[in-house]
Chain A
């Protein structure tokens, strides 16, 4: 009996390990392949003859004299001035995260401490807003922004991204502030603090873990956005993602696809670093909403 149980559990272990291994391969292979291929020429990355050319860099060796080449990166960053897009992304993401968190902490704190009916309704409305496809909102902005000459500038995109980010930020910080005991700020108020002073001196020192977690998701939303930034930014203000989409339109000539591949790898690198350092926060952030139900 017990040996039968063991045997079945051993086969189960083998099966589940194989499954996880397969998943890990499926999840990581595209990234490894593209990173490796970004140092090759187009003739290897898209190989007409043999896919293994991409591994050994056969054509890369013939065309450039070495098995690795930085031509794609050179073309993207210097020739096509991808660094401008990188700087724009930096500006947009930085200000979006800072402003979202400032608005979100104040609002989330108020929602967590109010307990009134309208606070509940605000949260419900935020949930509905969270579900709006971003592109439908963009189609609402476009005409007024053209008319008022707001179209094309970085600050416009930043404030739009902040607004789109608010529903999620509010929900997340609201559930986070619920976990901070109410007694903390209540006792400060008994000691004569106003609500804002209580928030300032008692809550702010203990809220950083939740704020950092929420900030990570604000970062991801702003960094990964395509709908807003591709429609609302002029060509010279483009951030990285629309710039990459732009590469595809203009890179039909031989060799230039590699510019896009190099740009894609460059834009992915910061995300890798982010997950490496903040894995635990991302996991806890994803589950925070779920455990609350």
Chain B
């Protein structure tokens, strides 16, 4: 295909991506380097019979005008990145100097909003992803052995947790785990503790969110694995059976190696999707006990006083996180591509 033809074909798509994905990233970086203008202070001198007093007051009009003229604010360099709401370098070195052992330092760290969000985001990403793969594989192996009449309806039901709107799915579960909801009541009865509430403690909230994450993503892994199982070479399975391999050995040495490329694919997609975990925290109203990077950006923009610079700085840090997460994949693909070219 000629360069010119290629260009015209790709133009609409490329323009949309540059305007609404690439430029917003630039805008985020710019916003993160600026901070809102300070209020304009005017000093007036009142002279009375007992001498003169200086009085400073906020000039609201001038402040509003200045802020309207330069909505981006004044240049602040990297200061937003290092303040208490983000990397909090000063607080960390302070906590390190006055630490009472390593555990104490970690709990100090956990009190800083950015690190609290980072801790949950990473835990969520690296626990939910493997659990989704294991559960998806088990379901796929199970469904594969069903009589073909039952396969269609089973797949239909299995798809539901995945296609449901994340916010709606988490709301549905949130209502059920409520202390007066059906699962909440059942748990109280099982543990014989009428005060038990999944919303109260941070640990239980984390577990709830991760259970939701596995529930909503397992269908994706299941469907991919299920399709992979249809292409397993039956000859090698039969050969393994003749050689006396047990069912488990067949799975371990024939099926799983065959599915390995799919594991890589699912991990990649799941790492990307789990790293931006956001809607479940809104749906479960879990922000007191668990926040994610996406959530604190949302909270900054939602608050009465929108802190664009703070949201933008967190966004930049999140994008850096995504880049780190993707580096191994990109390097591998690049090597493959170069290998093919040579």
Contact = CB atoms under 8 A, between A and B. Distances in A.
B247 to A, nearest CB: 5
A33 interface: yes
A106 B12 contact: yes
Contact of B171 (A103, A126, A195, A244): A244
B289 to A, nearest CB: 18
A128 B28 CA distance: 16
Contacts of B311: 139, 142
A212 interface: no
A293 B261 contact: yes
Interface residues of B, number: 105
A260 interface: yes
A62 interface: no
A271 B165 CA distance: 9
Interface string B201-212: 000000000000
A27 B329 CA distance: 32
Contacts of A51: 182, 185-186
A126 B1 contact: no
A13 to B, nearest CB: 6
B220 interface: yes
Nearest to A275: B159
A132 B322 contact: yes
Given A17-B142, A51-B182, A106-B10, A131 B272 contact: yes
Given A17-B142, A224-B165, A133 B6 contact: no
Interface in A18-56: 19-20, 23-24, 26-28, 30-31, 33-34, 45-48, 51, 54
Interface in A267-293: 267-268, 271-272, 274-276, 279, 282-284, 286-287, 289-291, 293
- Interface size class of chain A, counting residues whose CB lies under 8 Å from the partner chain: 35 or more
Interface stretch (B76-84, B103-111, B312-320): B312-320
B13 A264 contact: no
A164 interface: yes
A8 interface: yes
B24 interface: yes
A26 to B, nearest CB: 7
A119 interface: yes
A201 to B, nearest CB: 16
A146 B308 CA distance: 12
B163 A12 contact: no
Interface in B83-112: none
Interface of A: 8-9, 12-13, 16-17, 19-20, 23-24, 26-28, 30-31, 33-34, 45-48, 51, 54, 102-104, 106-107, 109-111, 113-117, 119-120, 122, 124, 126-144, 146-147, 159-160, 162-164, 166-167, 169-170, 194-196, 199, 220, 223-224, 226-227, 231, 241, 244-245, 248, 257, 260-261, 264, 267-268, 271-272, 274-276, 279, 282-284, 286-287, 289-291, 293
Interface of B: 1-2, 5-6, 8-10, 12-14, 16-17, 19-28, 31, 71-72, 138-139, 141-143, 145-146, 152, 154-161, 163-169, 171-173, 175-176, 178, 180-182, 185-186, 215, 219-220, 223-224, 226-228, 231, 246-247, 261-262, 265-266, 272, 275-276, 278-279, 282, 285, 293-294, 297-298, 300-301, 306, 308, 311-312, 314-315, 318-319, 322-323, 325-326, 329-330, 333-334, 337, 341
10 contacts: A24-B154, A124-B334, A127-B326, A130-B272, A139-B28, A143-B31, A224-B165, A245-B282, A271-B165, A286-B220
Can you list the 7 inter-chain pairs with the closest CB atoms, starting with the nearest? A140-B24, A163-B20, A107-B13, A133-B276, A110-B9, A136-B315, A287-B227
